[in-house]
Amino acid sequence: MTERVVLAYSGGLDTSVAIGWIAEETGAEVIAVAVDVGQGGEDLDVIRNRALACGAVEAEVADARDEFADEYCLPALKANALYMDRYPLVSALSRPVIVKHLVAAARKHGAGTVAHGCTGKGNDQVRFEVGISSLAPDLKCVAPVRDYAMTRDKAIAFCESKNLPIATTRKSPYSIDQNVFGRAVETGFLEDIWNAPIEDVYEYTADPAQPREADEVVVTFRQGVPVALDGRPVTVLQAIEELNRRAGAQGVGRLDMVEDRLVGIKSREVYEAPGAIALITAHQELENVTVERELARFKRTVDRRWGELVYDGQWFSPLKRALDGFVDEANEHVSGDVRMTLHGGRAVVTGRRSQESLYDFNLATYDTGDTFDQSQAKGFIEIYGLSSKIAARRDLHQG
């Protein structure tokens, strides 16, 4: 039986060329798999037919938008996942759902190898290959760009020599990856970190400096899950999509940062994630109202580690799975409403309410009749600071 390779297929030049390239390099039959995670662009049937026209023996397409939102974006929201305290893991979250579909296709078609279009310089090669080895340790991985030196000029020449049905002339100055949770832009003039982004870099967000009326939205959560916007029930996917539109129209979610890649280099990235940033902002504030102090303090440590694991391609790792359990438990009481004003590139919380609230007005108020017994504070301070006081006496004596 001829060896088979499952290829993560986007429909673009590189992965279209990779179909024939892999066949020539290895003699294997190629099965193309395209996964829709809300990246927009062409119809899935068009992509499927292109893969077949480029030489794939089989081509599968999967509409994974709800799956991506419910099983990947939602856990990130519950974990307030922001790599380096800023980046909401736009690309990192999509890789494991694609990996899941690639492995399923490999099993279905009897393939022994999975291929992807990543270079040897980025994080995605790690996310794909570690994910594949975690779900299917027996499968091999191939990256034509990295392993066979499939440079862009060679890809264009190959495409033209084989008369493949894909345009080869237009090339964006940027490398772009996008899905429903956000959009990542790099390379081109952005590689000079002194250069400011220009407006044509952006697609999901409007210029926040342009004058416009503010937009007010109320997000309702149930156990950490966004279930309604302005009182209208929504799925997780619908919540992200609507806030992409509304927050994006206000310029919310633009990020320009130099981040630490897993492979050891620093990279300048420009991100747009209006829905993700708006939802994480609202979720964090509701946690402030409903999560007990010591649990909240520890969860911030877990959130950071959770985000690092996902960024580093460890979605399927034992530690990540264990942290998922903690995050779900910590979200048990994160239910209620958060009101935000979207304007000028910011999502600003202006109100919060919850039946699970730990905020006690009578304890917090400074007005007459408050229920906080201030007379107990003096003794608390004395005991709380006792160990530091004893150490200070010693240090002063020794000095």
Q: Are residues 283 and 158 in the same domain?
A: no
State whether the Cα torsion 266-114-53-28 is positive or negative.
positive
Q: Are residues 27 and 152 in the same domain?
A: yes
CATH number at residue 279: 3.90.1260.10
Q: What is the pLDDT of residue 221?
A: 98
Between 169-173, 233-237, 250-254, the lowest mean confidence (pLDDT) is in 169-173
Of 69 and 20, the structure prediction assigns the larger pLDDT to 69
Q: Give a yes or no: residue 233 inside a domain.
A: yes
- The answer to whether 207 is a known ligand-binding residue is no
The domain in which residue 129 lies consists of 4-171
Tens digit of each residue's pLDDT (9 = 90 or more) over 172-214: 678 889 999 999 998 889 999 999 999 999 999 999 999 999 9
Q: Are residues 156 and 202 in the same domain?
A: no
- The answer to whether 259 is a known ligand-binding residue is yes
Total domains, the chain: 3
Q: Are residues 248 and 375 in the same domain?
A: no
pLDDT, averaged across the chain: 93
Q: In the 8-state DSSP scheme, what is residue 70?
A: I
- The answer to whether 387 is a known ligand-binding residue is no
Q: What is the pLDDT of residue 386?
A: 95
CATH number at residue 67: 3.40.50.620
Q: What is the pLDDT of residue 209?
A: 95
**Alpha-helix residue ranges (DSSP H) falling in the chain:** 13-26, 44-53, 65-68, 74-78, 90-109, 124-135, 144-147, 152-161, 236-248, 274-290, 293-311, 318-330, 361-364, 377-384, 386-398
Q: Give a yes or no: residue 10 inside a domain.
A: yes
Q: Specify the residue for token string 């003699």.
A: 27
- The answer to whether 148 is a known ligand-binding residue is no
- The answer to whether 151 is a known ligand-binding residue is no
Q: Are residues 28 and 140 in the same domain?
A: yes
Q: Are residues 50 and 93 in the same domain?
A: yes
Q: How far apart are CA 184 and CA 202, in angstroms?
A: 10
Q: Are residues 141 and 211 in the same domain?
A: no
pLDDT band for 298, please (50, 70, 90 cuts).
Answer: very high
- The answer to whether 330 is a known ligand-binding residue is no
Can you tell me the mean pLDDT for 121-144?
95
- The answer to whether 186 is a known ligand-binding residue is no
* Residues identified as active-site: 14, 95, 124, 175
CATH number at residue 391: 1.20.5.470
Q: Give a yes or no: residue 248 inside a domain.
A: yes
Q: Are residues 253 and 123 in the same domain?
A: no
pLDDT band for 162, please (50, 70, 90 cuts).
Answer: confident
